[in-house]
Amino acid sequence: MFYLLIVLSITGNQIISKVDSLMNAPRDREATMKTIVIDKNGKTKERDTKMYEKGNYRLIRFLSPAEDRGVGFLSLSEEKMYVYLPSFNKVRRIASHIKKQSFMDTDFSYDDLGSSNYKGDWNAKVISENDSTWVLKLTPKPGKDTDYSMLKMVVKKNVYLIKSVEFFKGNKLKKKMIMKDYKKINNYWSAQYIEMRNIEKDHKTIMKLKNVKFNQGLPDNIFTKRNLKRI
């Protein structure tokens, strides 16, 4: 009964705070990822990547297709990102305007792939709920430069995990993200399947995570320009 009272009285901001802390709980994470881009005619393009994360640091290395093999992306903060292009043999700084661009021709923007910080950027309100989920409306905090004017997020009640997020510009639904196949690995939850639908383009990208490992003690020197350039 006491638990029920707490759950009933929980606010939207408390829920996204729990979501953030759950998503950011592991010290580090590494995984291989298959990305499948499907256009409106059903034509598919696949990409394989290896990803390392630690706090705000992220390193992504492209394994296939051949045209992207060896390309590396390093993010150290929102304003400090680098890309390594093997054809130029050069690590190049990229500015944060790139966050508006799609990430390597997928339906995810660089921003969408950023670390979970809903609490820092958004105010959340519970707009409906049922036995298993809350539906939250997220609006940007004053002064926060977000690409969307509103998010509609569905959160699982039992574990505070995101089920879906809808991204709006004005009142127009632009994208919808679905997260499923959650698996508990080393005591941390991880969605093995993430789908991003671009509603306007009738286009979607599926990310399938494999070999997910948490808390492997990734050293900081993985997240350096020196390592980004390593083949």
Partner 1 sequence: MKRISFIFVFPFMLFGAVDIGGYLEIGKTSFTGLRNSPYFPIYNDLRIEGKTGSPHLRGVLSFDTRFYDFSTVSNTRDLSSIESLYPLSINLYEAYFSISDFLINNLDLNIGKQRIAWGTADKFNPTDNINPIDLSNPFTFGEHIPTFSVEISYYWNQWALNAIGIPAFTPALLPSDSLLIGAIPVGNSHLPSLLPRNGSYAFKISTNLMNFDMSLSYYYGFDKFPVPDSVGYVSNETYGFDREKVGGFDYSGELFSIGLWGEFAYFMPDRYSTKINTPVFDTLGNIIAVVPIDTSYLKDPYFRTTIGMDYTFPHNIYINVQYVHGMDFERKVMIGNDKSTNPGDYIVGRIEKDIFDNLKMTLAGIGEKRGDSLAYSVIPEIEFHPYDNCKISTGYFQTFGNKGTYFGGMKEYKMAYVKFRFEF
**Residues near partner 1, by CB under 8 A:** 39, 45-46, 65-67, 69-70, 79-80, 88-90, 92-98, 100-102, 105, 201, 203, 221, 224-226, 230-231
| Distances 159 to 165, 185, 188, 196 between C-alpha atoms, Å | 16, 14, 11, 22
Nearest CB to partner 1, comparing residues 81 and 162: 81
Nearest CB to partner 1, comparing residues 187 and 221: 221
Rounded distance between C-alpha atoms, residue 13 and residue 219, angstroms: 33
- State the minimum distance, in angstroms, from the CB of residue 140 to partner 1: 16
- State the minimum distance, in angstroms, from the CB of residue 45 to partner 1: 5
Nearest CB to partner 1, comparing residues 9 and 171: 171
**Is the Cβ–Cβ distance between 213 and 26 less than 8 Å?**
no
Residues 6+ apart with CB under 8 A from 98: 81, 110
- State the minimum distance, in angstroms, from the CB of residue 79 to partner 1: 6
* Three-state DSSP class for residue 226: helix
**Is the Cβ–Cβ distance between 29 and 205 less than 8 Å?**
no
Comparing CA positions, the residue from 59, 36, 181, 167 lying closest to residue 112 is 167
Nearest CB to partner 1, comparing residues 69 and 156: 69
Q: How far is CA 186 from the centre of its chain?
A: 20
Rounded distance between C-alpha atoms, residue 162 and residue 35, angstroms: 20
- State the minimum distance, in angstroms, from the CB of residue 157 to partner 1: 37
- State the minimum distance, in angstroms, from the CB of residue 142 to partner 1: 19
Nearest CB to partner 1, comparing residues 163 and 175: 175
